[in-house]
Amino acid sequence: MDKEQRVKLIRRLEKELNYKRFIHTLGVAGTAAALAMRCGADMEKAELAGLLHDCAKCMSPEKMRTICIEARMPLSEPERNNPALLHSKAGRVLARMEYGVEDEEILNAIAWHTTGRPAMTLLEKIIFIADYIEPGRNAAQRLPEIRSAAFRDPDEALIMILSDTLRYLRVSGAAVDSMTQKTYDYYRSRVHAAAPYRTDGSAPEREENI
Ligand SMILES: [Fe+2]
Ligand SMILES: [Fe+2]
């Protein structure tokens, strides 16, 4: 993506997204680029995936479902019924069809940015983490620790985010997508340094719209 295409994309997103989502998007793109620099990943891909990760977020659930069905995108039951999950899969479809992204790594980073998945690529991890820690986020209790971990050990940050997300979903009575649990189990079994669920029974603060 050259300079002109980058400006064009940002201007387009400004029109397609509401103000809050647009500012969040810029935060995710910048944070993803910084994490890519830190981890030796492709900075341009990280920025582009960050810019597009929520490209479907401001669509109606009906529209999101329709574009997924038309693109034959497989959806789990929770994804079909929960816009907070559905927008990731719809975003993958939209990024390819409307924004012309062909790179599978970028498309998968968009598709899995809400739940994660076992054995994520580095780019998938970067977008998942950047979405949680971008500078506009302020509700999650462990944000300072998670932000610090993200630049020290992304897998540790990943586990902290998944752990807090699962806890938040359970305490708030929201449906837990099995992929979020699978992702947590996968990384928890590989990294032992991260903190497990809180033992004091408190729910971590968390912003609802990932
Ligand atoms: Fe999202
Ligand atoms: Fe997001």
Asked whether the beta carbons of 82 and 93 are under 8 A apart, the reply is no
Ligand 2 midpoint to CA 197 (Å): 23
Asked whether the beta carbons of 50 and 28 are under 8 A apart, the reply is yes
Residue 200: pLDDT over 70: no
Ligand 1 midpoint to CA 71 (Å): 19
pLDDT digits (tens, 9 = 90+) for 59-93: 999 999 999 999 999 988 888 888 889 999 999 99
Specify the pTM.
Answer: 0.90
Ligand 1 midpoint to CA 43 (Å): 20
Ligand 2 midpoint to CA 8 (Å): 20
List of domains in the chain: 3-140 (1.10.3210.10)
Taking residues 173-198, report their average pLDDT.
77
Interhelix angle 83-97/43-52, nearest 10 degrees: 120
**C-alpha triplet 189, 178, 136: angle, nearest 5°:** 85
pLDDT digits (tens, 9 = 90+) for 4-27: 999 999 999 999 999 999 999 999
pLDDT digits (tens, 9 = 90+) for 108-167: 999 999 999 999 999 999 999 999 999 999 988 899 999 999 999 999 999 999 999 999
